A and B are shown apart, each in its own frame.
Chain A
Amino acid sequence: MDVNISQLIAALPDDGGPSSTQTLTQERVHEIFADLAYRPMPLGSLHRLWTASELSAQIALAYLAYGIRQWFCDAETAEKALLETNLRVALKVFHRLGYLRGAFAKIGQTAAHMPNVLPDQVAETLDTLHSSAPPMHYLLIREVVRNEFGKDPEELFATFEREAFAAASIGQVHRATLKTGERVAVKIQYPGIARTIDADFRNIQALMLPMRLGKEWESVKAQAGEIHRMLKQEVDYRQEAESLRNAAALFQPEDGIVVPRVYPEVSGLRVLTTELLQGTHLPEYLAANPTQASRNEFGTKIDRAWWRLYLAFIGYSDPNPGNYIFLSDGRLGLLDFGCVRHFTEEERELVRLADKAAFEDPSLMPQLVQKACGIHPADPEFGAYLRIMQDTCDWMLAPHSQPGPFDFGNPSHFDKGAELFSGVVRSRHVRAHPMYVYHNRAVYGLLALLYRLGAQVDVAEVLRQERARNPA
């Protein structure tokens, strides 16, 4: 055996704090941000970085302790004493969650590269634990519900399905019936995730330190801060409930757009109960070969919902198509309000300026670049940023500047957008107001959705109507 005990002990953390600081390069951080802009939150590598550092690392430790014991099971007394010392170390370390994060992330990762220490199977399992919140069996669900309300699901609901019917980004969703008879969807969060976010962001900040001399530092720091803020909001289901209520108030029955109602008496920090919307998601909707007219209607509703929220200064920021539900009566359901941005006064100014520059007065473009990207006109890169802004606005306006419906199913418009965006990331012109971290991915997400739907939408007309309802 060529791994010896002192190497193993050396692999256990000492009190020096996280030591993986240097392993993440500036390039990597950029990649991560770019990645984040495209994927649903839980699978982005940044997210993986912080949920992974937590628990699987502790399990890796348990394996180390286990490994240590195995090597010594036939050993002499002196060695047994050493074994006991190591077991003590292992148990002690388990006590100290705060400490586990940074240093253990490293162990978790390196463990996977120490075939002499861990059997393949274990390394593989460690890997799979990294990717997303694992499904919860009913007995765990019950504990989470009990922690929240002090009561079991069987006491709170008339019926409660033990099997989840859908996965959520950091939890899962169960069908249930209220005591008053309504059918509901109960979203339950995997325990412990929310509380890791702050500590993990401290680690992320440490990881980013090597970048601090670069010219993008301030902007990157602000963007990281924005992601931190939004994640904290996303894990707080009470805030999601509030956003759902605000959004629901914006839609009338004649819009054919529904935001599910919240049931506050069975909702809280980690559990959210909403009216069950019965319908299909995009893939099943498309699989049933809907007519062009139906696609167009849904596409128009999706576009209308977007503008209705945007003009109320609510950014519907999660581009995941799973957030839209196609009801059989033709209504559109809007589901996920965890990742919603309520624009600040400063951001509202920016929204107004961007609208004006894009739709009315191109001469405002330089001013917009200065405000939106934080670039001074004297900056040598100002010209490059101005060009990007101009191209982006032209592209976004294209569907608006033709009479009648625009065919979003035409791939050329979609491809052009993808090209623009990846160009921005490649050329590292990433300085932007933090609100754009989410706004950009939402806009591209919306477009991707309309593209897959193959919808023809008269976006200019929708916008005209929405503006008329909302003169502000």
Chain B
Amino acid sequence: MRITANAKVATRQRILEVASKLFLDAGWHPTTTRGIAAEAGIATGTLFNYFATKEAVAAALIETALERAYEGLPNQPGYGDSVEGDLFSLVWSGFRSLAGFRTFLGAAAETIFSPLARQSPDSPGDAIRTTHLQWVQSIIAEHGVPKPLPAVTLQLYWTLYLGVLAYWAADESPGQEDTLALLDQALKLFVSSLGAAR
């Protein structure tokens, strides 16, 4: 039996919807690929045709949300004024877009973005990381720092980003104002480290 491309897209979409509901309702740790498959009404083996792990499922959710945010970036008033401001927009509009996933993101990020996972060829966090860092590099280039940036600089950025992301996921302050401050300061630190690269 041939599965049409449309059916494939629909199944994938269904898995993502079911999984995000499970991650949110049951939590990150208790949710398994088997549980997701059962809820989606497919065999576990079928799910593996789409996603190798639950990390990969979550990564797909995150990726889609972030892409939506990146698209809207240039329309923000004040975008383009400064490196810091643009990076701030990049991160914060991403967070806004991820807001629905906040409760499980902290736990998920730990394994999705684990440096150990990165050693394997199809690490689920890799695409997110690569796209995000491409944005970072082009923002920095827009503001006059020659490409390519030293690997160490990007590594530094990514470490800060993950820290802020994890912090945001658990931030109970009104409007996540504590994260606003943390992000602002993290970016100040990062941008000042670019001084050496300039």
Chain A residues with a Cβ under 8 A of chain B = 54-56, 58-59, 61-63, 65-66, 69-70, 80-81, 83-84, 87-88, 90-91, 94-97, 121-122, 125-126, 129, 134, 136-140, 142-144, 146-147, 152, 154, 162, 190-193, 195
User: Interface stretch among B35-43, B58-66, B140-148, B188-196?
Assistant: B188-196
Whether B78 lies near A139 (C-beta < 8 A) is yes
Can you list 7 A-B contacts (CB < 8 A)?
A: A65-B159, A80-B115, A88-B110, A121-B193, A140-B88, A147-B175, A154-B77
Q: Given known contacts A58-B163, A146-B175, what 8 new A-B pairs fall within 8 Å (CB)? A: A59-B163, A59-B182, A59-B185, A63-B159, A66-B159, A122-B193, A143-B175, A191-B177
Please report whether the interface of chain B is mostly helix, strand, loop or mixed according to DSSP.
helix
A55 to B185, CA, bound (A): 7
Whether B189 lies near A59 (C-beta < 8 A) is yes
User: Interface stretch among B8-16, B20-28, B130-138, B166-174?
Assistant: B166-174
A122 to B78, CA, bound (A): 28
Contacts of B159 in A (CB 8 A): 62-63, 65-66, 69
Closest to B192 in A: A125
8 shortest interchain CB distances as A-B pairs: A147-B175, A192-B181, A191-B177, A138-B78, A137-B85, A191-B180, A95-B170, A66-B159
A96 to B166, CA, bound (A): 10
Contact of B184 among A134, A142, A147 (CB under 8 A): A134
Interface size for B (C-beta < 8 A) is: 47
A129 to B189, CA, bound (A): 9
Whether B163 lies near A65 (C-beta < 8 A) is yes
Q: Mark B59-80, 1 if CB is under 8 A from A, else 0.
A: 0000000000000000011110
Minimum C-beta distance from A163 to chain B (A): 9
Interface centre among A66, A91, A129 (most CB of B within 10 A): A91
Whether A190 lies near B181 (C-beta < 8 A) is yes
Contacts of B77 in A (CB 8 A): 138, 142, 152, 154
Whether B76 lies near A84 (C-beta < 8 A) is no
Given contacts A55-B181, A66-B155, A139-B92, whether A121 and B78 have CB atoms under 8 Å apart is no
Contacts of A61 in B (CB 8 A): 163
Given contacts A137-B82, A139-B85, whether A129 and B163 have CB atoms under 8 Å apart is no
Minimum C-beta distance from B28 to chain A (A): 13
A122 to B153, CA, bound (A): 13
Given contacts A95-B167, A147-B175, whether A56 and B160 have CB atoms under 8 Å apart is no
Whether B182 lies near A58 (C-beta < 8 A) is yes
A139 to B85, CA, bound (A): 6
The answer to whether B128 has its CB under 8 Å from any CB of chain A is no
Whether A56 lies near B185 (C-beta < 8 A) is yes
